[in-house]
Structure 1
Amino acid sequence: MSYIGMIVDTPYPNDIRVRKEAESLVESGKKVVVISPRKKKDLKSEVINGVDVFRIGNNYTNTKKGLLDVFESIFNINFLFFFGIKKALKQFDIQFLHVHDLPLAGTGYFFKPKMKRIILDLHENYPEALKTWFAWKKNPIIKLKNMIFMNPTLWSKKEEKYCEKYDLVVCVVEEMKQKLISNFKIEPQKLVVVSNYEKKEFAQNFLSSERQSIITNKNFSITYVGGLGPHRGLDTVIKAMPQIVKEIPNVKLFLIGKGSKNVEDKLQEMTNELNMEEYVKFVGYRPFKEVSTIMRESNVNIIPHKSNDHTDNTIPHKLFQIMMSKSLLLVSSCKPLKRIVEKYNCGLVFKADDTNDFASKIIMIYANEEEFLFKKENAFDAVMNKGENWEEESKKLLSLYTVL
């Protein structure tokens, strides 16, 4: 039986989207090999939940990735993956190449003559993401490198080029599909939306409690879970805290996750300048079982993303995870977040980038928390009973390959 070769520029199985796609295809009877970079202690090959994993290189680091991104930018090829795919083709009968995200699109396209079909899976609006990811970088050399090689205009041209050249393009949200149609005139029939929903079984993580010392009854808890970055809107939240503290003296903002040193320093400096050290807690990483308990027991979980052409064209897994936790949800007005929350009346929405509106929504929740209990039930019902889950969404991916 021939294989679907999935190409991903992150260690497998770390990327949730790639893992869910690969495992769903295997469960449907397809054979999948994931070609991914090898970190120092990783096995060169193994089978994980039925998915063959073929790792390439040795001790893949962020520095190596940065250098390879520069080569990709200049030559439209990532040499590590080019030779890695060639090795994989000798071992596996790969007839479909499923390339995850824009940076590997050029490399994957080299193998089109050897494939029945090539599929490009866009996790996000990558060119626009480049405008936000590096906004708080301080190192002048890195800033110069990003300006030259990770230039959004350059990568937008690559996006248009490869969306035209690939046989099919998988988009993460409907907004991304419409953007490709309107900006690049990509034919709608070659675009398929497969979004970042969670499996229903994920809800089981919230049925048991793990000992944690973060959330207590003493505080009104505002919790953010995820990576820390300029596009996440955490600066909006921190700037709102002085207003919130005046009305809610026992409030605490908990940031669960990590970011680059530049990002963490920027957020910490902002907290210090506002004298909010007592009210803003940089928790860092926590084991996942503990995080699920933290999410469930928090008074409100937030997704405060800034609204721009990056965040308006992607959607985070944690939206659906929070909906499964039966905790109150407050999101910014980014198009996909607002669309889901308003469709099911399953949370509250504040105007993205608006400090005052964020503060007023938090204060309103504090004063009327019991009135919003029905929104928690609506959220849970949407993911478990109304199709906002991976079991339903994955059917579109399976149908795509059945047709091919």
Structure 2
Amino acid sequence: MQFLQPNKSKMHAILMIVDGYYPADIRVRKEAESLALKHNVFVLCCRKENDQKVEIIKNVTVLREIFYKSFTEKGLIDMRLAINFVHPKFHKILPEMINKNNIDVIHVHDLPLAKTGFFAAKKYHLKSVLDLHENYAAALLTWFSWRKNPVIRLKNKIFFNHKRWQDYENRIIKKYDRIIAVVEEMKDRIVTDTAIDESKITVITNSEKKDFVANFDATENSFFKDHKDQFIISYVGGFGPHRGLQTAIEGMKDVSKQIPNALLALIGPANNDVKSYLENLIDEFNVRENVVIYGSQPFKKVVKIMQSSDVNIIPHISNLHTESTIPHKLFQILLSKKPLLVSNCAPLERVVKSNDIGTIFKAGQAESFSKEIIKVYNNYETAMQKAANGFELAYNGDLNWEFTEKKLLHLYENLES
């Protein structure tokens, strides 16, 4: 294997570790590319069968050393990880990656790899950064609640127990030199739960790069050309229980009475359990004519969906998970220049309300959802003005990655202090 020789003029040699694919993870990619402006950055990640093992992408050296032979092997390793919180594949390869690339900082992405990364940092006397993308322990309460398979439900109950993972997070956080939180609300929760010095925590949110705006091409035809006379309400993203799609579907019952041509478009991946659950809701609330599930779409179509919708929604329900995270799509929608409706989960409400860039409804309340959709429809000029505010802040203000990355670079400039 060939390794990139470190650039001695740069400050740190950083090894990011992520149990996923690169550059597929948006957050990991943005952070790695920004840090590569001033540091030597390596990303140790997973490999698909035809991927290159070593590749340099925008000055980031990608080391695809983790390979799962099958979905079953991945599941078995996840269960093994859940027993002692050490990932066997990453644990085995880390010494070689650290030594051959002269690593001096371990940057761990998300809670499952935290102990594995810390063991390596401690053994080799490296600085350590734990990057928490979300409240992982709280997410465990939500992710699997729609799954019906009794074996899967039993496995998750035993190996992915919320309290056990929350206790683990509280312990491991204290061992790291620096913590990255995705929103201010997560930072506050960590300080409350662990009593660590808040100066150790830096908030790096999921803002978008300004050049994302280039994806919106006004000359292309609308994604919804078959529904050109309808008022399009779009949701783009995951279909998990915490996403609030059930609220939006129920809300369409009242929306359709006031706006007969309204159409709720749901775009995203859905397994059979989830799709069956949502289809049953559509029939229960008798909104078959006003709701359509498109499933996953290519990225180029996703941005066109945002741009050709009359309003884009983020209807998250309120729980421990959603109250301390924020989705990338919030900032992407702002760059689409189209109206935004979000639930009042704390991070969403704070960003939207303080900047007057969208409309807010009460999380989990279908009546509130329908009321605000109807208000947007009847006051569309006002909704478009808020969308214009959002674009201005996302492009020329502080709601973009160019602003956020300054905090990330500052963290590393002061890592030794």
Deviations 1:102-124 (CA, angstroms, capped at 9, x unpaired): 00011111112314301100000
Are the aligned partners of 1:37 and 1:60 in contact in 2 as well (CA < 8 Å)?
no
Residues 1:154 and 2:169 aligned together: no
Q: Hey, what does 1:308 align to over in structure 2?
A: 319
Runs (5+) with no aligned partner, structure 1: none
Q: In structure 2, how many angstroms separate the alpha carbons of the residues matched to 1:60 and 1:236?
A: 39
Question: SS of the counterpart of 1:189?
Answer: helix
Q: In structure 1, how many angstroms separate the alpha carbons of the residues matched to 2:231 and 2:70?
A: 39
Q: Hey, what does 2:54 align to over in structure 1?
A: 45
Are the aligned partners of 1:96 and 1:117 in contact in 2 as well (CA < 8 Å)?
yes
**Paired amino acid for 1:108:** G
Are the aligned partners of 1:39 and 1:61 in contact in 2 as well (CA < 8 Å)?
no
Q: In structure 2, how many angstroms separate the alpha carbons of the residues matched to 1:60 and 1:241?
A: 44
Residues 1:375 and 2:386 aligned together: yes
Output the TM-score relative to the length of structure 1: 0.96
1:11 positional shift: 0.8
Are the aligned partners of 2:224 and 2:308 in contact in 1 as well (CA < 8 Å)?
no
Residues 1:199 and 2:209 aligned together: yes
Q: Hey, what does 2:230 align to over in structure 1?
A: 219
4+ residue runs over 6 A deviation: none
Are the aligned partners of 2:132 and 2:180 in contact in 1 as well (CA < 8 Å)?
yes
Q: Hey, what does 1:262 align to over in structure 2?
A: 273
Question: SS of the counterpart of 1:286?
Answer: coil
1:208 positional shift: 3.8
Structural mapping, 1:260-339, within 5 Å: 260-339=271-350
Q: Hey, what does 1:78 align to over in structure 2?
A: 87
Label 1:209 to 1:260 Cα distance change in 2 as closer, same or farther (>3 A).
farther
Identity %: 46
Q: Hey, what does 1:357 align to over in structure 2?
A: 368
1:373 positional shift: 2.0
Label 1:212 to 1:186 Cα distance change in 2 as closer, same or farther (>3 A).
same
Q: In structure 2, how many angstroms separate the alpha carbons of the residues matched to 1:101 and 1:61?
A: 22
Are the aligned partners of 1:35 and 1:84 in contact in 2 as well (CA < 8 Å)?
no
1:43 positional shift: 1.3
1:60 positional shift: 5.7
Question: SS of the counterpart of 2:86?
Answer: coil
Q: In structure 1, how many angstroms separate the alpha carbons of the residues matched to 2:62 and 2:114?
A: 20
Q: Hey, what does 2:180 align to over in structure 1?
A: 170
**Paired amino acid for 1:300:** V
Residues 1:135 and 2:151 aligned together: no
Deviations 1:104-153 (CA, angstroms, capped at 9, x unpaired): 01111111231430110000011111001111111111111111110000
Structural mapping, 1:27-46, within 5 Å: 27=37, 29-46=38-55
Q: In structure 2, how many angstroms separate the alpha carbons of the residues matched to 1:167 and 1:11?
A: 26
Runs (5+) with no aligned partner, structure 2: 1-7
Residues 1:104 and 2:113 aligned together: yes
Label 1:213 to 1:374 Cα distance change in 2 as closer, same or farther (>3 A).
closer
Q: Hey, what does 2:35 align to over in structure 1?
A: 25
Question: SS of the counterpart of 2:94?
Answer: helix
1:385 positional shift: 2.1
Q: Hey, what does 1:396 align to over in structure 2?
A: 407
Number of matched pairs = 403
Are the aligned partners of 1:210 and 1:290 in contact in 2 as well (CA < 8 Å)?
no
**Aligned-residue CA RMSD (Å):** 1.4
